[in-house]
Amino acid sequence: MQLDLGTDPRTEILRRMHDRLIDEFGRVIRPDDERRDPIWTLVQGVIGARAKTAVSNANTDRLIAAYGTWDKVAEEELSALTAALKTATFPAMAAERLKACLQNIIDQRGRATLDHLAELDTAEAMEWLEQLPGVARKISAGVMNTSHFNRRALVLDAGHRRVAQRMGLVPAKADTARAFDALMLVLPPEWSAEDIDEHHMLGKRLAQTICRPKQPHCEVCPVRSDCDHGR
């Protein structure tokens, strides 16, 4: 039987983890002016496979500056979009996914907008997003959490998921969707959307600096006492 929200021992582990990561890395709070339009956030995710955030942000800004609207981006030839995304890790794949995603939205909504998602609850909005080409759980959660929507949805990239798996917070072989479902059930109920966003950024930083894919530095990890792998 599922424990009531907040009574699962993982909830207290997450609270301790959050506090210890703040002690280690400091606060990581997204300024309001970095919360972008939801469709900008979607585009940034779709074209950002295996690319640094700064590169994806710059590519997204460059596209909207050059074309003026996402509808115009959807109309562009694939060859031109590929050239425009030359700094992406996989330019041709990014261009193809972006064009397909934007065209699908236009086919359903009449134009490239996600405004209708404001009327849906978070789970329904994420389900709608995940039927778009190139959109899976990480991107749908990102749209809901880090854009102007500012909803309670935990973004999980590969590094943060690795941390959660090693700590025993989610099953070792859980994919992003399964890990998201498991963690959302046990997040501290008092955490706001901003707290959840900060938790992801702290978890991501831990993965990048200490909880590395190979040879993690467990001896200096601030959450070692709560980590199955570290112990």
For the stretch 45-97, pLDDT in tens is 999 988 889 999 999 999 999 999 999 999 999 999 999 999 999 999 999 99
Q: Does domain 9-28+154-226 have CATH number 1.10.1670.10?
A: yes
Q: Which CATH class is domain 36-146?
A: mainly alpha
pLDDT band (50, 70, 90) for residue 2: very low
The pLDDT value given to residue 231: 79
Cα-based distances in Å from 160 to 36, 40, 204, 205, 207: 22, 23, 5, 8, 6
For the stretch 171-225, pLDDT in tens is 999 999 999 999 999 999 999 999 999 999 999 999 999 999 999 999 999 999 9
Q: Domain locations in the chain?
A: 9-28+154-226, 36-146
The pLDDT value given to residue 230: 84
Mean pLDDT of the chain: 95
Higher pLDDT, 1 or 42: 42
The pLDDT value given to residue 6: 46
Q: pTM here?
A: 0.93
Decide if pLDDT at 27 tops 80: yes
Single-letter residue type at 56 = S
The pLDDT value given to residue 34: 84
